[in-house]
Amino acid sequence: MVTAGPSPVAAPPALLTVRNLSIRYGDKVALQGVDLDVRPNEIVGIIGPANAGKTSFLRALNRMDALVPEMQVDGTITFAGRDLRDVRNLYALRSRIGVVFPLPVGLPLSIYDNVALAPRLRGVKARSELDGIVERSLRRAALWDEVKDRLKSLGSLLSGGQQQRLTIARALSQEPELLLLDEFSIAIDPVTTMRIEEVLKELRQELSIVLVTNLVQQARRLAARTAFFLGGRCVEIIATELLFSGGAKDQRTIDYLEGRFG
Amino acid sequence: MTGANPFAPTSLEGRSLASQGVAKAGFLVITLLLLIPALGIVGVLLVEGWPGMTLSFLLEKPRENGAAGGIATALVGTIWLTAVALVVALPVGVAAAIYLSEYARDNWLTRTINVAIVNLAGVPSIVHALFGVGAFVHFLQFGKSILAASCTLAVMTLPVVIVATRESLQAVPKAFREATWNLGATRWQTIWRIVLPNSGSGILTGLILVVCRAVGETAPIMFTGAVFFRQLFPNGVFDKTMALSLHLFNVSTQVTNVPRHVPFAVALTLILVVLSMNALAIWFRMRLRGRKKW
């Protein structure tokens, strides 16, 4: 079980601060007026039904709007003390924020090259250094033991669960401070899901995680605090333990938890 | 248990089954009709041209305006024209396809470019020939030369290179691009490391199409660099040259006293050049495809 989030008084300065965030795709509003903080070494869960704006929220944190022409982001996102809108060097930003999408993406490269790709892009050339990064990242993603004898085989031909851990290893290869996970367990089996959840609990020692999930119980197992998104708004954000002991203030949250909709 | 067969066709079903059979047979017959011209062309060329297809025919230079001797200078000239056209068309076409597939946003410029490509593909080759005379022979002062002719062929084949390459680039899943961007890669790094290595087969398709057209086209090169008769091999891209396609036209219609088998042998050579290039490219493509990547 996860312990309750720290009380507001003792809260350390946030790693990520989101204020009044709104996202539009053309005329369609995906998210409106969201405030949310992520503290160092904290897992924040985001739950909610489809079309709640959860994925858009993650995309904004990673400045995906720079690649999606019709995506319009308003509001303030502060990461590591900098306003994201002022960050010109998005490549450096993306190397400090790792992302894992719902569907596993094994790039059509060898397992080794999958994990070594990001360090190589940053200019790491020494074989020994790359070897170290690859092994460490794969170990942290709980994949090393399964693939250490076939690092040269194609990453895109691994099983779904292995590919998802490969995706996580790739995200970890650049030592991010923040890891964004978007329904990572949607395409993988329950056993692998539990293994990755164990991985995430370990990772919490070293970085912060925003976990978007359809599985309410997954948020319960992992998150210190959980936000409930509905129809493009953040209905409430609350310590997970409180949420699951009947502490939700909003009736819609309670309805969702009890499975009355969504 | 006995009783009526529950699967016996009703009269309506019987009629649909019957018409289904007729339709299938009809379509098959029409498709088989396609084989007539294909087999006919190859058959006639083989029967009529094969006696003329000797090693000396391929390796000797033509004499008496093509009525005697071989086709060596025309064959070499066609290879020159095709190779130079490839060197010009492939890089430009691939670059344009990369821009359109990976960088371009959907705005008026992109739409204009797309319309231009479609229109370029529809321009008759004789019009390309006139454009080549104006643009390459005179304006760029290449003179009547291999370079001018190949550039004309390149312009003519650019649309197919662009379309084939663009389609193969877009066949690379978007998820790969997003995953690579999210690792902090630039667009170019993504293209270079992930997209291009996985779209080789499309680029090869473009290559095949360029070769086929460049080998076979007559009008564009006869205004811009191919000559009626020349016994010298080209020494460089500013030389004029003979070409198989134009030579075929000449020995069929312009030159008198040509032995009957010569035009057929020239045509057979032309087809064999195209087919062998195709076979090579298809073999390459199979090898590329054989390595399943995802």
Q: What is the CATH number of the domain that holds B233?
A: 1.10.3720.10
Please indicate, yes or no, if residue A76 is contained in any of the structural domains.
Answer: no
Residue numbers in A near B106 (CB within 8 A):
69
User: Which of A146, A175, A204 corresponds to the end of one domain?
Assistant: A175
Question: How far is Cα A229 from Cα A246, in angstroms, rounded to an integer?
Answer: 18
Does the pLDDT of residue B24 top 90, yes or no? yes
Q: What is the pLDDT of residue B183?
A: 86
Domain count, chain B: 1
Q: What is the pTM of this model?
A: 0.79
Kindly state the greatest CA–CA separation across chain A: 57
A 144-173 residues inside an 8 A Cβ radius of B: 154, 156-157, 167, 170-171, 173
Please indicate, yes or no, if residue A26 is contained in any of the structural domains.
Answer: no
Question: Domain containing A200 — which CATH number?
Answer: 3.40.50.300
Q: Is residue B198 less than 8 Å (CB to CB) from chain A?
A: yes
**Judgement on whether residues A159 and A126 belong to the same structural domain of the protein:** yes
DSSP letter assigned to residue B241: B
Query: Per-residue pLDDT averaged across B63-75, rounded?
Result: 84
| Mean pLDDT, all residues of chain B | 87
**Judgement on whether residues A61 and A186 belong to the same structural domain of the protein:** yes
CB A110 within 8 A of CB A155: yes
**Judgement on whether residues A93 and A195 belong to the same structural domain of the protein:** yes
User: Which of A64, A95, A108 lies nearest to residue B184, judging by beta carbons?
Assistant: A95
* Pair of tokens at residue B31: 């498709």
Q: Is residue B109 less than 8 Å (CB to CB) from chain A?
A: no
Full domain range(s) for residue B226: 51-288
Please indicate, yes or no, if residue B128 is contained in any of the structural domains.
Answer: yes
Question: How far is Cα A143 from Cα A149, in angstroms, rounded to an integer?
Answer: 11
* Nearest-neighbour CA in chain B from A17: distance (Å): 20
Residue numbers in A near B183 (CB within 8 A):
94-95, 117-118, 121, 170-171, 173-174
Please indicate, yes or no, if residue A23 is contained in any of the structural domains.
Answer: no
Where does the pLDDT of residue B290 fall: very low under 50, low under 70, confident under 90, or very high at 90 and above? low
**Judgement on whether residues A53 and A181 belong to the same structural domain of the protein:** yes
Q: Which of A121, A159, A177, A178 to mutate to test the interface with B (most CBs of B within 10 A)?
A: A121
Please indicate, yes or no, if residue B174 is contained in any of the structural domains.
Answer: yes
Query: Per-residue pLDDT averaged across A148-170, rounded?
Result: 89
Q: Which of B168, B177, B182, B187 to mutate to test the interface with A (most CBs of A within 10 A)?
A: B182
Kindly state the greatest CA–CA separation across chain B: 92
CB contact under 8 A, A108 and B183: no
Please indicate, yes or no, if residue A14 is contained in any of the structural domains.
Answer: no
**Judgement on whether residues A59 and A180 belong to the same structural domain of the protein:** yes
Amino acid at B284: F
Question: How far is Cα A121 from Cα A113, in angstroms, rounded to an integer?
Answer: 11
Residue numbers in A near B189 (CB within 8 A):
121
**Judgement on whether residues A186 and A227 belong to the same structural domain of the protein:** yes
User: Which of A67, A118, A156 lies nearest to residue B183, judging by beta carbons?
Assistant: A118
Q: What is the pLDDT of residue B277?
A: 81
User: Which of A175, A202, A222 corresponds to the end of one domain?
Assistant: A175
Domain count, chain A: 2
Does the pLDDT of residue B210 top 90, yes or no? no
Residue A162: phi, psi to the nearest 5? -65, -40
**Judgement on whether residues A92 and A207 belong to the same structural domain of the protein:** yes
For B192, the closest chain A residue by CA position comes to A121
**Residue B170 Cα distances to A84, A152, B97, B167, angstroms:** 30, 26, 10, 5
Does the pLDDT of residue B143 top 80, yes or no? yes
| Mean pLDDT, all residues of chain A | 87
Please indicate, yes or no, if residue B237 is contained in any of the structural domains.
Answer: yes
Where does the pLDDT of residue B150 fall: very low under 50, low under 70, confident under 90, or very high at 90 and above? very high
Q: Is the dihedral of CA B156, B157, B160, B165 positive or negative?
A: negative
Where does the pLDDT of residue A2 fall: very low under 50, low under 70, confident under 90, or very high at 90 and above? very low
B 148-177 residues inside an 8 A Cβ radius of A: 175-176
Query: Per-residue pLDDT averaged across A57-62, rounded?
Result: 89
CA distance from start to end of chain B = 53
Please indicate, yes or no, if residue B235 is contained in any of the structural domains.
Answer: yes
Please indicate, yes or no, if residue B256 is contained in any of the structural domains.
Answer: yes
DSSP sequence for A153-210: SBGGGS-HHHHHHHHHHHHHTT--SEEEEESTTTTS-HHHHHHHHHHHHHHTTT-EEE
Q: What is the pLDDT of residue B1?
A: 54
For A61, the closest chain B residue by CA position comes to B182
Question: How far is Cα A150 from Cα A51, in angstroms, rounded to an integer?
Answer: 40
Does the pLDDT of residue A1 top 50, yes or no? no
Residue numbers in B near A124 (CB within 8 A):
none
Does the pLDDT of residue A102 top 50, yes or no? yes
Determine what percent of chain A is predicted with pLDDT higher than 90: 31
**Judgement on whether residues A163 and A152 belong to the same structural domain of the protein:** yes
**Judgement on whether residues A89 and A184 belong to the same structural domain of the protein:** yes
Residue numbers in A near B292 (CB within 8 A):
157
Query: Per-residue pLDDT averaged across B148-163, rounded?
Result: 92
Strand order in the sheet with A16-25: A28-38, A16-25, A71-79, A82-83
Please indicate, yes or no, if residue A25 is contained in any of the structural domains.
Answer: no
CB contact under 8 A, B183 and A106: no
Please indicate, yes or no, if residue B186 is contained in any of the structural domains.
Answer: yes
Q: Is residue A4 less than 8 Å (CB to CB) from chain B?
A: no
Question: How far is Cα A234 from Cα A232, in angstroms, rounded to an integer?
Answer: 7
Q: Burial letters for B215-227: b for 16+ Cβ neighbours within 10 Å, e otherwise? A: bbbbbbbbbbbbb
Full domain range(s) for residue A190: 1-9+38-69+84-100+176-262
Q: Is residue B194 less than 8 Å (CB to CB) from chain A?
A: yes
User: Which of A175, A198, A226 corresponds to the end of one domain?
Assistant: A175
**Judgement on whether residues A168 and A182 belong to the same structural domain of the protein:** no
Strand order in the sheet with A43-47: A97-100, A178-182, A208-212, A43-47, A225-230, A233-239
Strands A16-25 and A71-79: antiparallel
Please indicate, yes or no, if residue A29 is contained in any of the structural domains.
Answer: no
B 223-262 residues inside an 8 A Cβ radius of A: none
CB contact under 8 A, B180 and A107: yes
Residue range B240-284, pLDDT digits in tens:
888 889 989 988 888 888 888 888 999 999 988 888 888 887 888
**Judgement on whether residues A231 and A133 belong to the same structural domain of the protein:** no
Residue numbers in A near B185 (CB within 8 A):
91, 117-118, 121
Please indicate, yes or no, if residue B250 is contained in any of the structural domains.
Answer: yes
Helix (H, G, I), strand (E, B) or coil at B19: helix
Please indicate, yes or no, if residue B6 is contained in any of the structural domains.
Answer: no
**Judgement on whether residues A213 and A258 belong to the same structural domain of the protein:** yes
Strands B68-69 and A97-100: unpaired
Residue range A22-47, pLDDT digits in tens:
999 988 999 998 999 999 999 999 99
